[in-house]
Structure 1
Amino acid sequence: MLDFLTAGLVLGLSAGFSPGPLLMLVISETLHHGTRSGVRVALSPVVTDLPIVLATLLLLVKVSGYHGVLGGVSLAGGLFVLATGWDSIRTRPVQLDLPKEQPKSLRKGVLTNFLSPHPYLFWITVGAPLLTKSLNVGWTAFFAFVLSFYLSLIGAKIILAVAVGRSKAFLSGRLYLYTMRFLGGLLVLFALLLFKEGLVLLGLI
């Protein structure tokens, strides 16, 4: 269970702190309409991810006996995590020169996250395979991964909303950059584990 808890924390924090459309919307809402608006946007993955998770989980359950398919998915997940980790290591200060916009709601955050390719790529290549493995261990492992992932994902974005609400310089400071680079290093290690698992499933090692 500890492995799934750790995986959820690392993946969730990395996704929560990484620059992207949803994070930019969180920042924009915070700067223009206050911290509460940014927090509401940060909660949108709870709404948008459920159908994605269920669809990908159902698909993987159906192909669970095909080791070649699962091996390919694991290698694809390794590539996705490796690219995400490399981007995190190369993180630069986030520019906050954002245009003035009309107030947005949770619905706007849901739309932004739903139209972004990142949740689909993550759950198809990484998230759903981890969920199927956790189910083989037990429901405790399953909920450990899901809860740790979403608590860290949403928590990270809420922390950023509060930090940006207090100081616009936070995203250009050293603490944010060092955090992203540390998480990037952990993601690279996690990617190597996925590569190893994929090669084992394919019978190459």
Structure 2
Amino acid sequence: MQDLLLGLSLGLGAGVTPGALLSLVITASLRGGFRAGARLACVPLMSDLPAVVLSLTVAEAMPALVLRVLSAAGGLYVIYLGVMTVREARTAQPPQPGAAAPSSAGEILRAVAVNLLNPHPWLFWIAVGAPAFVTAWHHAPGAAVAFAVGFYLVLCGSKVALAGAVGAGRHKLTPRGYRLILGTAGLLLAVAGAVLSFRGLSPQGL
């Protein structure tokens, strides 16, 4: 259960934290409505595979001590992201609609390219996701699967939900509501980072 909750928290934080892909999702929703944004919200399911496979392969071959250090360092990185998200939420503004959207296929290809070239998924899986997954797998494979499923369920689901809110309201998404979403995500990220760091520093962490 703890691994599932960790995956859910990290997924929500990563899902609504400002970034290149989230900007594309929101912009597509503003231009073309919910369906346009929802398509891009699921892009991580297609584009994260190289980072996941490479990170898990490397992490599986690492000694337990190295995984503990990575887990602690990754937790600090997640705490940093959470704090920065809370700070950005104070003055964040919902993206404004732009020009007409390109074709759906063109949007998806663009989003896949953006996500593959974005260092954040790679950093997350190398420093956070892979150590957490391997640790859970050593304890119980089901827990590792729950972590990964929970992470991607909420990562994509939160983007889909935001696409729905933006698409339905279009110009009605208030700065206050947007800031509340980001601030909550930042707090969850910080808490999840603290859990990861504690696991890494604890002798029973792995």
TM-score bracket for this pair, using the shorter chain length: 0.7 to 0.9
TM-score by length of 1: 0.87
1:41–1:108 contact (8 Å) kept in structure 2: no
Mapped to 1, the partners of 2:110 and 2:86 lie a distance apart of 30
CA distance in 1, matches of 2:159, 2:109: 17
Cα distance in 2 between the residues matched to 1:170 and 1:98: 12
Q: Which residue of 1 aligns with 2:83?
A: 86
**CA root-mean-square deviation:** 1.9
Residue type of the alignment partner of 2:55: T
Report the CA distance between 1:89 and its aligned residue: 1.7
SS at match of 1:4: helix
Q: How does 1:45-56 map to 2 (within 5 A)?
A: 45-56=44-55
Q: How big is the shift at 1:42?
A: 0.7
2:176 aligned to which of 144, 157, 173: 173
| Structure 1 residues 142 and 196: CA distance shift in structure 2, 3 A | closer
Structure 1 residue 50: Cα displacement:
1.2
Q: How far apart, CA to CA, are the structure 1 residues paired with 2:39 and 2:70?
A: 33
Q: Kindly tell me: are residues 171 and 140 of structure 1, through their superposed partners in 2, closer, same or farther at Cα, counting changes over 3 Å?
A: farther
After superposition, the Cα gap between the structure-2 partners of 1:178 and 1:29, relative to the gap in structure 1 and judged at 3 Å, is: closer
- For the residues of structure 1 that align with 2:26 and 2:46, how far apart are their CA atoms? 19
Q: Does 1:138 align with 2:135?
A: no
Q: Identical aligned pairs, as a percentage?
A: 37
- Answering whether residue 86 of structure 2 is matched by residue 57 of structure 1, we say no
Once the two structures are superposed, what CA deviation does each residue of 1:45-64 show, in whole Å capped at 9, x if it has no partner? 0011112111100101111x
Point out where structure 1 has 5 or more consecutive residues left out of the alignment. none
Give 1:102 deviation, angstroms: 4.4
Deviations 1:71-93 (A, max 9, x none): 33123202210111102222133
In structure 2, C-alpha distance between the alignment counterparts of 1:78 and 1:57, rounded to whole Å: 17
Q: Which amino acid is 1:53 matched to?
A: V
Shift of 1:28: 1.3
Letter in 2 for 1:81: V
Give distance in 2, aligned partners of 1:88 and 1:110.
Answer: 23
Alignment of 1:100-179 (within 5 A): 100=99, 102-103=101-102, 104-167=106-169, 168-170=171-173, 172-174=175-177, 176-179=178-181
Unaligned ranges ≥5, structure 2: none
Paired positions, count: 197
- Hey, what does 2:71 align to over in structure 1? 74
Q: 8 Å contact 1:22–1:113 — kept in the other structure? A: yes
Shift of 1:33: 2.3
Query: Is the 2:68–2:200 Cα contact (8 Å) retained in structure 1?
Result: yes
**Distance change >3 Å, CA 137–CA 72, structure 1 → 2:** closer
What amino acid sits opposite 1:172 in the alignment? Answer: P
2:36 aligned with 1:33 = no
